[in-house]
Amino acid sequence: MTREFDRLSTEQRNPRTTDIDRLPLEEIVRRIQEEDATVPAAVAAVRADVVRAAELVCDRMRRGGRMILVGAGTSGRLGVLEAAECPPTFDTPPDRVVAIMAGGPECVWAGREGAEDDAEDGARQIRARGVGSTDAVIGIAASGATPFVQGALAEARNAGAGRILVTCNREGLDPRCADVIVASIVGPETITGSTRLKAGTATKLILNAITVATMVRLGKVYENLMVDLQPKSEKLAARAKRIIRTLAGVDDAEADRALTAAGNRAKTAVVMLRRRVSREEAEALLARAGGMLRGALEG
């Protein structure tokens, strides 16, 4: 197993940073940033695979399924972050986009020895959540070889779920481990093996693209506005009113009244104002349009 890990691109030494420990601080930062600057090109190179991944997730979520992100260590934490951001941004129910962290939620803050090496636990976590054919499981592993993630993907296959692997390595990967493999090859890290750096950045960019593209297609965005946001803070309430003002052409006071009348749902408030209908009628228009604001306004 040691020799197998030795072959991974994410475990190689970076010849451009072998002297980093002898450099002044300004030069250390410059080297880090130069390496970071190579990541967007690596991510752009796998755009077609990101599109395929988003299509898979869209298909499953349209059928009532879930997006389930699975990972260990940094990769798992990135999955947790993605799942945590979807409800306030897109008003997704907490059980529609979920994260599974190797070792349990406490490992978001502190690692647990060997958690990532437990393939059976990965499978067990998938079974425990009743994963089925309408779900999409996204395994996240910089090396691609993390046993916990591979165990989860294998069990997801048994359950008939859609499977995606987001990784930064292709060496030794079984192409059958996922329906879609998104492998951005970022090369050796600035600090050897520290995949929270370039690999982590690439992973975040890819997850951003998958989740945002999915939510746009599911009607959570109109133009480039997050019309399904949850206005549960002062900032988000101000944003919701700004969206209503922008899309309905009203002043702040009217936007505020409409938001309250719409049960704090900006999308409903926009339909009420634009179509001059009640909350109930606006909700019915949205339901007929499959939740798509454009359809409710133009239908």
Positions marked active-site: 85, 116
Tell me which residue of 212, 182, 177, 183 sits closest to 52, measured CA to CA: 182
Indicate left, alpha or beta for 86 from its phi (over 0: left) and psi (-120 to 50: alpha): alpha
Per residue, what are the HEC states of the chain?
CHHHHHCCHHHCCCCCCCCHHHCCHHHHHHHHHHHHCCHHHHHHCCHHHHHHHHHHHHHHHHCCCCEEEEECHHHHHHHHHHHHHHHHHHCCCCCCEEEEECCCHHHHCCCCCCHHHCHHHHHHHHHHCCCCCCCEEEEECCCCCCHHHHHHHHHHHHCCCEEEEEECCCCCCCHHHCCEEEECCCCCCCCCCCCCCHHHHHHHHHHHHHHHHHHHHCCCCECCECCCCCCCCHHHHHHHHHHHHHHHCCCHHHHHHHHHHCCCCHHHHHHHHHHCCCHHHHHHHHHHCCCCHHHHHHC
Contact (CB, 8 A) for 136 and 159? no
How far apart, in whole angstroms, are the C-alpha atoms of residue 271 and residue 207?
Answer: 31
Tell me which residue of 94, 93, 95, 163 sits closest to 123, measured CA to CA: 163
